[in-house]
Structure formats: C-alpha cells, structure tokens
Amino acid sequence: MASVSPSPSCSTIPIPLRRTSFAVAELRRLKQRRAIPPVSVGLGHFADVVRNDVDFLKNKIGIGLRWANEAFRVPEVTKSAEELFWLRHLEDHTSQNLKSQSWPQPSYSGLTGVDLFMADVKALETYAGYFYSLSKMWSRPLPEVYDSQAVADYFNCRPHVVAFRLLEVFSAFTIAAIRLRTSASVKGKSLEASEQIFGMVLKETMLHLGPTFIKVGQSLSTRPDIIGTEISKALSELHDRIPPFPWPEAVKILEGELGGPVESFFSQFSQETVAAASFGQVYRGRTLDGADVAVKVQRPDLRHAVLRDIYILRLGLGVLRKVAKRENDIRVYADELGMGLAGELDFTLEAANASEFQLTHDFPISGFQKYISI
C-alpha cells in the first residue's frame, strides 16, 4: 500500500484575515436589521403620517366652518328657519285656553251640506266658463272688415301694446317740440321760413310714427288753407317719397302669400322697388308665361299697426267727449277713418279695380300687362 507524504515545498502556511472598515460597517448594519423588525417600523410611521394629516384637515376645516358661521351668520339663520318651521312666531303665551272648534255646520235653512257642495261646484263651473271665454277672446284675430267693437275687444286683451304705442307717440312729438324749441335757425327768421322748418319736422315725425300718421299727413297736405302753404308743401312729400322696407322682408311676404319660392311663379323679378307708398311698394316682375306684371307688396304687420292707431284715436276722442261734455259721439270720426283705411288694406280689391280699368279702357298701366297685389 503506497502512501504519499507532503513535500516540504507544499506545506500550508496560515494567513491571518484582515477586517476592513467597510466590512465592519456592513456587519453592524446587518445586526441592526436583525434586532428591529422592519415591518413594524413601516406601519408605525404610516400611522403617524395619517394621524398628522387628519389633525391638519380637522384644524383647517374647523377654521373654515368658524369663518363661514361668522360671515353668513349660519346659527342665526338656522334658528330663524327652525322658528319658522315650528311657527313659534305665532305662539302667544299670554293667550287664554280656547276650546277646540268643531267642523262648521251649514247655516242656510233648508240646505244640507250636499246642497252647499253642489252650489260650490256650480260656481266653479261658472268661473271656469268665464275664464275659458276670456282665453277665446285672447285667441280671436283682428277682423278683416273694420268693426269698432271687435277691434276694441282685441286690444282690450293687449293693454301693453296700446301703452307702448302711446309712449312712442308721446316721445316722438316731445322730441319734435324740443327740436323746434331749441332750433337756432327758427329765431329771427320770417314766418314763411318758420313754417317750412315746422313742416319738415312734422313730416319726419309722421314718417317715424308709421303708416297711419303718414296717411294723416297726406290728408293734411291737401289743405293749405288750414295749415299753411309751406307746411302743406313739406307734407306733400309724404305722397311719393316714402322709404321702402328691405327686400328680405318683402320676399318673405311674397313667398308666404304665394306658397312657394318666387322663382316658381316668376321667370324674372326685380329686387328694386318701382315705387313705395305708405301701405306698400311695387316691384316689376315677369310671369312664367312671359307677361310683365306689377306686384304690390303690403308692408309687414300693417293691419295690426293701422287698427291699433285707430283704436287709440277712438279712445282719445272718447276722453275728449267726456271732458267737453258733448252729447254727440265724436268717436264716429275715428270709425269713418278706420273703415276707409281698412278698405285700403284690401289689396285684392285694388288689383281688381286696376285690372277692370285696364280692360275697360284698353290702356296699359305704366307699361305693365297685369297688376298683382299681395
């Protein structure tokens, strides 16, 4: 059996271990970790953070609530609401004790509670019928033919319309009076020049107030013996120098009356007015069959505006009659004017008269073959 003995060159030499400062620090850190459980340290720190946050929020919210209570007087408002809820303001501590009252019994001789109940139902039915008739009056339109009572019923349901119109008329004439009063050109001028300035201001006021006042101005212009020559000359411009209303409004009226676009009825239609009057304006057109026609379009909401002014004039004449204590009814003048203006509002009658005149005299109307009113 062979054996191996170590040679002198391979003998082991013990080498001592040297601990550096870094190794010592690491060993100490590991020992500290083993001594203190890491999980318990983390949960405690989290609980402290949450507790501090809750305390902070409670403090700030409390400050905000105290400020709100002082600023909005929340306690006083809450107390007042509570007293109102419980009706404590009605309590009278000095009042005597009262006996509770029983249900009131009918005091009508010979009538039972059922009879009284049926009478109340009948009364409610009567009042319901009255208010229903009022609602029907609100929905009733203006009459096509002038009727003073129907016009009065219509505007009695709309007092705000009358009030605004009265304010508009009063403001217009007030401004005209101020213009005449403060105009420096009136002072030192002759009577003829003063009448001319007065006529121009009156003409502008009539134009501003609309068709009814334009008609009145046209009527006054034919009486120079009453209002003077210069005023009559200024008002005579109301016959043929009326500003037209815009084309978009006119085309809406045309299409509403015709029931379709203008191109469906006319091959050509001029957007420029041939003439403009107080109640309407005229356009030149050509139908699909090649006939040249004159189309007169009524101003928008004309019937309501004219009959409203006639109603106001009638009210004014009624007040004047009572103040002057006149026996005869001077409101008939307003009724005569209303019937005349309402007749002029019927453009179909005007078109029929123009066509009849053309057929009778075989004479073209201003170069047109036909006259159409809308």
Question: Could you identify the residue written with the tokens 């999980």?
Answer: 39
Model confidence, pTM: 0.60
CA 181 to chain centroid, in Å, comes to 36
> Order of strands, edge to edge, in the sheet holding 266-276?
266-276, 280-287, 292-298, 370-373
pLDDT of residue 171: 94
pLDDT of residue 167: 95
pLDDT one-digit tens code per residue, 98-125: 666 666 665 666 777 788 888 889 989 9
Positive or negative, the CA dihedral 311, 316, 318, 319 is positive
Q: Which of 257, 305, 252 is nearest to 279 (CA)?
A: 305
pLDDT of residue 308: 92
pLDDT of residue 198: 87
pLDDT one-digit tens code per residue, 186-204: 555 666 677 888 889 999 9
pLDDT of residue 68: 83
The parts of the chain modelled with pLDDT lower than 70 are 1-44, 85-109, 184-192, 362-374
Residue burial 60-90, b: 16+ Cβ < 10 Å; e: rest:
eeeeeeeeeeeeeeeeeeeeeeeeeeeeeee
